[in-house]
Amino acid sequence: LGLYSDAMHDYGRITAQVLPVHPDAASTILAGYAARLAADPESIPALTGASFVRWWLFDYAQATHLLNQLLIVRPDDVYGNLFRGSSRLLRGATNAGVRDLEYGIALAPGSPDVHWVAGDAYTYGLPDPQRAFAEATLALNGGLDTPRVHAILAASFVAFDNRPAATVHIMRHFDLVTTEVASAPAMVAGDSRAVAIAPGRVVG
């Protein structure tokens, strides 16, 4: 459906809720896709799902391999070009990654999800704060008011040395990810304290 941010959110829930209980969940997911691809190596849904989970796991080399296979089957696939570009930038293949990203954007220029992926790649793969800011702004204006988008915007403003603007987006990021607020005694300079951490918990 092109809802890449929603897919990322779902895998974030797996990280927060499933992996602590089932630490082998990622292996189970990968094994399922491997079985599907063994039965049908050109399955677009399986190639899409398998490459996305590899991307989520930071396994950009394997993600790129699967995306190459996907693009042989469907060369003008928006997801395939976009995420191969992201994977390439995130593993240092700059020129090829930029070409893929630009083609993916050209295939769906009105998609805020496409611009989010591009902004992410230009933040964490090939650092280009101006381009990351432009892409994340398009994503936000298109309706993606998400933690990742605000993290990209905050990082861009830090690079621009605009700390007040960065703080606004950091605050919004925390608002969006916080599911529990836990209190702790006040601290002074030089203090240290152990606190129980958990996904979504903010200690203040």
Structure tokens at 186: 């006040």
Instruction: Indicate if the pLDDT at residue 112 is higher than 90.
Output: yes
Amino acid 131: pLDDT? 97
Amino acid 194: pLDDT? 85
| Mean pLDDT for all residues in the chain | 94
Average confidence (pLDDT) over 69-82: 98
Amino acid 181: pLDDT? 84
Average confidence (pLDDT) over 94-101: 94
pLDDT in tens, 55-71: 999 999 999 999 999 99
Q: What is the DSSP letter of 18?
A: I
pLDDT in tens, 14-34: 988 888 889 999 999 999 999
What Rg value do the Cα atoms of the chain yield, rounded? 19
Amino acid 184: pLDDT? 81
* pLDDT level of residue 178 (50, 70, 90 thresholds): confident
Q: Is the pTM of this model over 0.85?
A: yes
- Looking at the chain, the whole-number percentage of residues with pLDDT higher than 90 is 79
Amino acid 167: pLDDT? 97
Amino acid 29: pLDDT? 95
Amino acid 56: pLDDT? 94
Instruction: Indicate if the pLDDT at residue 187 is higher than 90.
Output: no
CA distances from 100 to 45, 68, 84, 110 (A): 20, 11, 7, 17
Question: In whole angstroms, what is the distance from residue 20 CA to residue 49 CA?
Answer: 22
Residue with tokens 């677009």: 44
Total residues belonging to the chain: 204
Instruction: Indicate if the pLDDT at residue 198 is higher than 80.
Output: no
